[in-house]
Amino acid sequence: MKKETQLIVALDTGSLDEAQRLVRELSACVKYFKIGSQLFTACGPRCVEMVLRENAEVFLDLKFHDIPNTVAQAAVSALRLGVFMFNVHAIGGSVMLSKVIETLNKEVDALKARRPLVLGVTVLTSMDRQQLNSVGVVRSVKNEVIHLAKLCKKNGLDGVVCSGKEINLLRRVIGEDFMLVVPGIRPASVAADDQKRIVTPADAARMGADYIVVGRPVVAAESPLCAAQEILAELHDV
């Protein structure tokens, strides 16, 4: 059976009021919202609680990267906040990744809670080969993405964040049983902003994205609700 691609709207705003206005407008049709470092640094766990109160789900996009114990404890904090998904930098290495999963699983058992999905961040889309080389990574971007995605899978993570241009490649080398969460999405009618490697919602769905992450095309639209409905219609028509 063909899987459905879900829409996550990025709450890239600097205030709780603005985020709440968006969630209230959208939550009739959008179930998932991404909270990143801008909003979380401005208002902390209150923004997660606000989304949960509106009966929607939170992808906590804080891209944890630290020593294994610290990231594992941050993962436990994310679990206690009630998020459905969060991410860590794959470059933290296998000891960090496996410690996160092991610690999270123990806490899930102890609390009898739902286990959040754990995603790896491979190579940020702002990095090119020259930038990678400058921090000592000698592989190409593509090979580094494959290498880190395999590391995530081997250590029990549920999937990775990847660009639309990497979906086919990752499906080929990693298979179907691994979640691909894809930002850099632009409906054909909308400006690319600063995103370079963009795909449309329909293309991402056709290639097998599990979730797409959309920010400005929805939150900066004249009517965020109409913009979200158009994207959902595009996903459902695939």
Binding site for ligand C5P (CB under 6 A): 10, 12, 36, 124-125, 161, 183-184, 193, 195, 213-217
Q: Which of 55, 4, 13 is nearest to 35 (CA)?
A: 13
Determine whether 34 is an active site residue. Answer: no
Of 107 and 158, which CB lies nearer to ligand C5P in the complex structure?
158
Q: Which residues of 73-100 are buried (b: 16+ CB within 10 A; e: fewer)?
A: bbbbebbebbbbbbbbbbbbeeebbbbb
Q: Which residues of 19-43 are buried (b: 16+ CB within 10 A; e: fewer)?
A: bbebbeebeeebebbbbbeebbeeb
Nearest distance, CB of residue 130 and ligand C5P, angstroms: 17
SS3 assignment, position 9: strand
Nearest distance, CB of residue 161 and ligand C5P, angstroms: 5
Nearest distance, CB of residue 63 and ligand C5P, angstroms: 8
In this structure, the chain runs to a length of 238
CA dist 121 to 3, 68, 93, 144, Å? 23, 16, 12, 11
Nearest distance, CB of residue 174 and ligand C5P, angstroms: 17
Of 101 and 145, which CB lies nearer to ligand C5P in the complex structure?
145
- Which amino acid, residue 238? V
Place of tokens 């594992």: 72
Annotated catalytic residue within 31, 63, 150, 165:
63
Of 17 and 193, which CB lies nearer to ligand C5P in the complex structure?
193
Tokens of 153: 């899978």
Of 61 and 107, which CB lies nearer to ligand C5P in the complex structure?
61
Q: Which residues are catalytic?
A: 63
